[in-house]
Amino acid sequence: MTDFATTKSMFHLPEGVLYLDGNSLGPLPKSAANHVKDMMQDEWGQMLITGWNKAGWMGMPTGLGDRIGRLIGAEAGSVVVGDTLSIKVYQAVASALELNPTRRVVLSDNGNFPSDLYMADGLLRSLGPDYELRVVDPQDVAAHVTEEVAVLMLTEVDYRSGRMHDMRALTEQAHAKGVVTVWDLAHSAGAIPVDLSGCNADFAVGCTYKYLNGGPGAPAFIYVAPRLSDRVRPALSGWLGHEAPFAFDLDYRPGTGIERMRVGTPPVIQMAALSAAMDIWDMADMTDVRAKSIELTELFIARVEATCPGLTLASPRNAALRGSQVSFHFDEGYAAMQALIARGVIGDFRAPDIMRFGFTPLYVDEGDVEQAAEILADIITNKLWDKPEYKIRQRVT
């Protein structure tokens, strides 16, 4: 059983703050600052360039990949860390398209995160006018998986509502039509149990700064099914994905397996912070995390619906169809979220009217949820959001 009291004690949570935004940026693991300091002083400081070998910096992208892989049902050696998620989306879609060279359509939905759609659009424009990004409503995806489609690119958990796609069913359906799948796990990894191997997924990508708590700007990860990884062309063919980077050959030969999805120099300092976060994740079981997450989200929904008139649930009511976040529509959602943040309850706002709350059992418990719901009820019933300073839009919402 995961000991959530212990995991909670391992995070730095500022006094007076109830943090319900770990679905956007996870909090600081207490050990991360020292871990990064030690890396900088003892490794970078003392070892200088020899740290790449002596401190094992070069092996960190796959070492961390395997630790993340355990949380998402990936086979050992099938996940590598690096770059940003947008870049990994591009890389995965480009590689997936090449596996289906006679088809020209990438299918996605309008619940996808815009950056995924932008990256796919940019890629398809470079490939030429025959290529098409087809974007449908989330509930219509299944009906559009046809033999015309090369790649199905979906984010499993909707970033606004928390609605989940059925990865297993859609992947099976895609394969039956010869479609290659790319799953974005930004709101899944560390939020819900994922079974990439069991679902027979082809490609998956995700980030490490949300539920995985790797810190702002922490690198992304990419998964390629072992049955494909020695076949795919990496598309972003950087030197560290080369079979022999230090041979400095002028021709590109992809490395073995998932190594070929590496691009350039890995962000070692940021990976040191991520490694501290993964020390906590190593103590957690995703089945326990999911059970606790459902308890927390059910509790929050029940409290808010009983005490906050005007807020309507924007997330699926059925917990089995919902990720680890809960969203409510509220006309004055932006101002209400600012008022909440001023009272120490941190969630976030997604246009046009969504108040979004993340539930992260590693450091959020029932007491936190009850207190947060009470403060929200006070703000809503007493209209405490109705102040000019809460209506000024900031750059990051």
Ligand X SMILES: Cc1ncc(COP(=O)(O)O)c(C=O)c1O
Residues that bind ligand X (CB under 6 A): 84-86, 113, 115-116, 155, 159, 184, 186, 207, 220
Q: Find how far residue 83's CA is from the centre of its chain.
A: 14
User: Among residues 116 and 259, whose Cβ is nearest to ligand X?
Assistant: 116
| Closest CB 6 distance from ligand X, rounded Å | 29
Q: Give me the catalytic one of 4, 90, 113, 357.
A: 113
From 184, 202, 348, 368, the catalytic residue: 184
Task: Copy the structure tokens of residue 203.
Answer: 């490609």
Contact 196, 59 (CB under 8 A): no
| Distance (Å, whole) CA 278 – CA 298 | 27
- Intra-chain end-to-end CA distance of the chain, in Å: 36
Q: Which of 19, 209, 330, 390 is catalytic?
A: 209
Distance (Å, whole) CA 122 – CA 100: 19
Which single residue is written with the structure tokens 């409503």? 137
Q: Rank residues 10 and 205 by Cβ distance to ligand X and give the closer one.
A: 205
CB of 18 to ligand X, least distance (A): 22
In the bound state with ligand X, the residue whose beta carbon lies nearer, of 10 and 96, is 96
> What 3-state class would DSSP assign to 22?
coil
Q: To the nearest whole angstrom, how small is the minimum distance from the Cβ of residue 123 to ligand X?
A: 14
* Residue 210 annotated among the catalytic residues of the structure: yes
Looking at residue 312, what DSSP letter applies?
A: E
CB 110 within 8 Å of CB 136: yes
Tokens, residue 224:
């390629």
Q: Beta-carbon neighbour count of residue 173 at 10 Å?
A: 17
Name the E strands within the chain: 11-12, 18-19, 28-29, 79-81, 105-109, 132-136, 149-155, 180-184, 203-207, 220-224, 312-313, 325-329, 345-346, 348-350, 354-358
CB of 218 to ligand X, least distance (A): 9
* Nearer Cβ to ligand X (7/208): 208
Catalytic hit among 67, 103, 262, 356: 356
Q: Minimum CB separation from ligand X for residue 301, in Å?
A: 22
3-class secondary structure, 274: helix
Helix (H, G, I), strand (E, B) or coil at 80: strand
Would you call 184 a catalytic residue per the annotation? yes
| Per-residue 3-state assignment (H helix, E strand, C coil) for 164-200 | ECCHHHHHHHHHHCCCEEEEECCCCCCCCCCCHHHHC
Active-site residue, 209 included: yes
Residue tagged active-site, from 88, 210, 262, 292:
210
Question: What is the phi-psi region of residue 344: left when phi exceeds 0, alpha when psi lies from -120 to 50, beta otherwise?
Answer: left
Minimum CB distance to ligand X, residue 185 (Å): 8
Nearest to 324 by CA among 363, 352, 280, 271: 363
**Shortest reach from residue 227's CB to ligand X, in Å:** 25
Nearer to ligand X, 182 or 311 (CB): 182
DSSP state letter for 11: E
Toward ligand X, which CB reaches closer, 128 or 216? 216
* Nearest to ligand X of 44, 118 (CB atom): 118
Residue positions annotated with a catalytic role:
113, 184, 209-210, 356
